């Protein structure tokens, strides 16, 4: 019997949640270094990212780096069934959102054009198939856009294959602490 997305998601989240705080920090630092070598990231002027939570790859230093290089940082805010990305100029522009994740305050300007979007992932396959948290926010947001996408994931979060549906959006590049995986999706 084929594995369901929920079963696979549960397995990968449990495995990730067992990572030690030290391993998360060390791996996140290496992932950030590997991200810094990516040409699309270096050239991008407007970058959408996410505020990490729980055992996710840490994005705080990545966001700080984007801001310190004078680039535009956009973070998602949940509005109903959709994500909107808003410019964040400083971390004081954030507040806890509907799912307990830090998101831009109402006064932050909505951004509709990005050079690159960094997306969260529970698990990734080498073909660019992404397993998210099951709400479909990112798939819906990315559905009609031609934006280069990067997923940040731990090496242990790379799966041979991931159950998927036709509306699931593939990710261009996956970065782990050990490798950069290009899936040739543009």
Tell me what pLDDT residue 2 has. 54
Distance CA(97)–CA(21), nearest Å, equals: 24
* Tens of pLDDT, residues 100-130: 899 999 999 999 999 999 999 999 999 999 9
CATH label of the domain that carries residue 117 = 3.40.50.10420
Structure tokens at 27: 């791996």
Asked whether residue 103 is domain-assigned, the answer is yes
* Tens of pLDDT, residues 17-38: 999 999 999 999 999 999 999 9
Tell me what pLDDT residue 1 has. 39
Asked whether residue 186 is domain-assigned, the answer is no
Coil, helix or strand at residue 10:
helix
- What domain range includes position 69? 5-181
As a whole number, mean pLDDT of residues 149-161 equals 94
CB 155 within 8 A of CB 179: yes
* Tens of pLDDT, residues 69-82: 999 999 999 998 88
Query: Is residue 185 predicted with pLDDT exceeding 80?
Result: no
Total count of domains within the chain = 1
Question: By CB neighbour count within 10 A (0-12 exposed, 13-18 middle, 19+ buried), where does 30 fall?
Answer: middle
């Amino acid at each position: 019997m084929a594995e369901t997305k929920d079963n696979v998601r549960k397995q990968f989240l449990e495995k990730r949640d067992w990572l030690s705080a030290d391993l998360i920090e060390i791996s996140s630092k290496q992932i950030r270094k590997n991200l810094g070598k990516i040409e699309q990231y270096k050239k991008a002027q407007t970058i959408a990212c996410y505020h990490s939570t729980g055992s996710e790859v840490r994005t705080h230093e990545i966001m700080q780096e984007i801001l310190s290089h004078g680039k535009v940082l956009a973070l998602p805010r949940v509005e109903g069934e959709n994500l909107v990305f808003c410019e964040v100029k400083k971390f004081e522009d954030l507040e806890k959102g509907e799912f307990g994740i830090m998101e831009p305050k109402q006064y932050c300007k909505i951004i509709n054009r990005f050079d690159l979007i960094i997306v969260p992932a529970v698990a990734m396959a080498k073909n660019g198939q992404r397993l998210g948290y099951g709400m479909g926010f990112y798939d819906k947001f990315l559905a009609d856009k031609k934006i280069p996408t990067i997923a940040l994931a731990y090496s242990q979060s790379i799966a041979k294959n991931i159950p998927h549906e036709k509306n699931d959006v593939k990710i261009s590049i996956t970065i782990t602490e050990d490798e950069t995986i290009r899936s040739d999706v543009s």
